[in-house]
Amino acid sequence: MLRLDCRFFLIALAAACSTPPPPTAADPLAAARCKQLVERALADNQAITLLGGLLQAAPKRLSGSPGSDAAVQWSLATMRAMGLVNVRAEPCLVPQWVRGEERAELLGQTAQPLRITALGGSIGTPDGGLEAEVVEVRSFEQLRELGEKARGKIVFFNRPMPRALRSVGQAYGEAVPQRSNGAIEAGKVGALAALVRSVTTAIDGNPHTGAMHYDDAVAKVPAAAIATADAEQLAKALQRGPVRMKLVLGCTQGPDVAGANAVGELAGSVTPERIVVVGGHLDAWDLGDGAHDDGAGCIHALEAVRLLQACGIRPRCTIRVVLFANEENGLRGARAYADTHRDELGKHVAALESDSGGFAPLGLTTSLRDEAAAAMQQKLLPLQDANAGTFLTGAGGCGADIGPLHNAGVACFGLLVNSQRYFDHHHTAIDTLAMVNERELALGAAVVAYTLSVLADG
């Protein structure tokens, strides 16, 4: 991921995106093709089966773990079984961070356990944990004003994800800096640890992990997320008086290890040297199974190419499925892909990423603008019949893993879904298969399939 977590990237940009002029009527043949793909996706109902297969083979897929390796092997075997060609693992080095023990409790008269989880990349606490008084802040500015009063304390960042914002991506963007950079700011004032309110509007007992960062110029302190229900209780306890807390984090950072992107192709029928990339990220945080984040995106890509083959649709250009390594805590896979294929980036026609969950599709975002965007919207008009006709232009890279391709001048697209429930599951133990609706997942794959058929015929 980028310096700021990109999980919300597509949605957060929606307000800044423009909409091209209204298109004319859809081409009847294109409309028939789209209808065929949608009906086949729903009737076959293979997307949920594929997702179940991935989660059974590799429910825990954090980069550098045995589960990550198992996910790559499952992906390669699945691509071969689908009849894709040039199936291979493209290597890259990935970080190896291990969670270990995690435990927290309030001490004294307010004694109670707290539901917490280490943030990804955090250092561990000293042996036996640490004990300190808790100070609550709602912003980095408030922490700076505390200054020396925060020294030797545990800083509790309790800024809620704003509920009033209709765009959950925008709301996430308002709150996530305390998770991304809270440990840095806590270290600047001499605090002993950072405790961050989970980034979700849901009030429940599920702590949300996610990437955090350190600055080599600032003392490193351990960082954890606290479930929102417990954050509410902790805030009330602090209103009554001083609170002490014990925090134990056993996480460790090992040396980089071998990882890989999983790659396979549906060869183009006319100009196979021209390439359209489609994918999601294969890695996932280790609390849940990564069903929505981003198992769904990987399945959107795989099921899309299966649907094209099942419906006898053979695009002119090659469609290359790339299931990226290490999006969650480093973007090593994205960078490795762009570097490995730097000599052929000029032959990349487009790239499409799905990384917003397996919810009902609404349409697409795109980096295209003006006349190019209007022409593409005309070709994608049949998606309106699938209730997925939203088309937001000027959206930059449209996803973290295809960001390097966007920087190289490749036209980029992102699947836009109804994400109101996304951050209820995001980076938690409840991101499981049971939380994915099979029809919504299938519809997302059909939208991706039709979009690919358009992009790869260009």
Residue 146 one-letter amino acid: L
Sheet holding 361-366, edge to edge: 85-98, 252-266, 317-324, 271-281, 348-353, 411-417, 361-366, 390-392
Backbone angles phi, psi at 245, to 5 degrees: -140, 145
- Give strand ranges (E) for 138-192: 154-157
- The CA distance from 197 to 203, in Å, is 11
**Residue 327 annotated among the catalytic residues of the structure:** yes
Nearest residue to 169 (alpha-carbon basis) of 161, 180, 177: 161
Active-site residue identified among 90, 185, 303, 327: 327
The catalytic site residues sit at 327
